[in-house]
Chain A
Amino acid sequence: MAEEIIVYAEHQDGKLARPAWEAVAAAQRFSAALGANCVGAVVGENVRNLAEELAGAGLSEVLTIESPQLAQYTPDGYSAALRQVVELRHPRFVVFSHTYQVRDFAPKLAASLDRVLIGDSLDYRLEGERIIFVRQVFQGKFSADVEFRGEPPYFVSFQAGAFREDSVQQGVASAKITSVPIDIPPGAVRTRPQEKFREARQAVDLSQAEIIVAVGRGIKKSENMVLARKLAEALGAEVGASRPICDSGWLPMDRQVGSSGQTVAPKLYLALGISGAIQHQVGMKGSRTVVAINKDREAPIFEIATYGIAGDLFEIVPPLIEEIKKAKAG
Chain B
Amino acid sequence: MKIVVCLKQVPSRDAFLKVNAASTWIEEADISYEVNEPDVYALEEGLRLKEKLGGEVIVCTLGPARAAQAIKEALAKGADRALHLDDAAFANLDAHGTAKALAAAIRRDNPDLVLTGLQSDDFGYAQTGVIMAEMLNLPHSTIVMEIQAEGEHLKIKRELEGGWFQWIEMPLPAVLTIQSGINKPRYATLKGIMAAKNKPLQKLTAQDLGLDTDALEPRQIISRVYVPQKTAQTEFIEGSPKEIAERLVDKLKNEARVI
Contact = CB atoms under 8 A, between A and B. Distances in A.
Interface of A: 75-76, 79, 99-100, 103-105, 107-108, 110-112, 115-120, 132, 135-150, 190-199, 202, 211, 217, 235, 243-244, 246-247, 249, 253-254, 259-263, 267-268, 288-289, 291-292, 297-298, 300, 302-311, 315-316, 318-320, 322-324, 326-328
A306 B139 contact: no
B192 interface: no
B124 A196 contact: no
Nearest to A118: B220
Contacts of B161: 99-100, 259-260
Given A138-B11, A311-B244, 5 more contacts: A100-B159, A103-B142, A149-B219, A300-B228, A319-B242
Given A302-B230, A328-B259, A143 B143 contact: no
Nearest to A101: B160
A104 B129 CA distance: 10
B126 interface: yes
Contacts of A199: 163, 165
B105 to A, nearest CB: 17
A319 B165 CA distance: 41
B195 to A, nearest CB: 27
Contacts of A107: 95, 126-127, 130-131, 134
Interface in B126-159: 126-127, 130-131, 133-135, 139-143, 159
Nearest to B13: A217
A259 to B, nearest CB: 6
A143 B19 CA distance: 10
A292 B37 CA distance: 24
Interface of B: 11, 13, 17, 19, 26, 37, 94-96, 99, 121-127, 130-131, 133-135, 139-143, 159-171, 179-181, 184, 217-228, 230-232, 234-237, 241-242, 244-246, 248-249, 251-253, 256, 258-259
Nearest to B180: A247
A44 B53 CA distance: 38
13 contacts: A75-B139, A104-B141, A136-B124, A140-B228, A190-B139, A194-B166, A211-B259, A268-B258, A291-B252, A306-B235, A307-B256, A319-B244, A327-B249
Contact of A309 (B217, B221, B237): B237
A111 B169 contact: no
A323 B126 contact: no
Contact of A111 (B131, B165, B245, B252): B131
B134 A149 contact: no
A246 B139 CA distance: 30
A69 B223 CA distance: 41
B241 A315 contact: yes
B99 A139 contact: no
A143 B17 contact: no
Contacts of A246: 181
Contacts of B13: 217
A250 B230 CA distance: 32
A307 B251 contact: yes
A243 B143 contact: no
Contact of B228 (A100, A143, A318, A326): A143
When A and B form their complex, which 8 residue pairs have the shortest distance between CB atoms, in order from nearest?
A247-B181, A190-B139, A107-B127, A319-B245, A268-B258, A107-B130, A116-B219, A323-B249
Contacts of B245: 316, 319-320, 322-323
Contact of B134 (A99, A111, A135, A262): A111
A120 B124 contact: yes
Contact of A316 (B96, B165, B241): B241
A264 B216 CA distance: 43
B17 to A, nearest CB: 6
A326 B253 CA distance: 12
Contacts of A108: 130-131, 133-134, 140
Nearest to A115: B219
B218 to A, nearest CB: 6
A119 B246 CA distance: 44
B129 to A, nearest CB: 9
B61 to A, nearest CB: 20
Contacts of B236: 297, 302, 307-310
A300 B181 CA distance: 23
Contacts of B244: 309, 311, 316, 319-320
A303 B228 contact: yes
B219 A191 contact: no
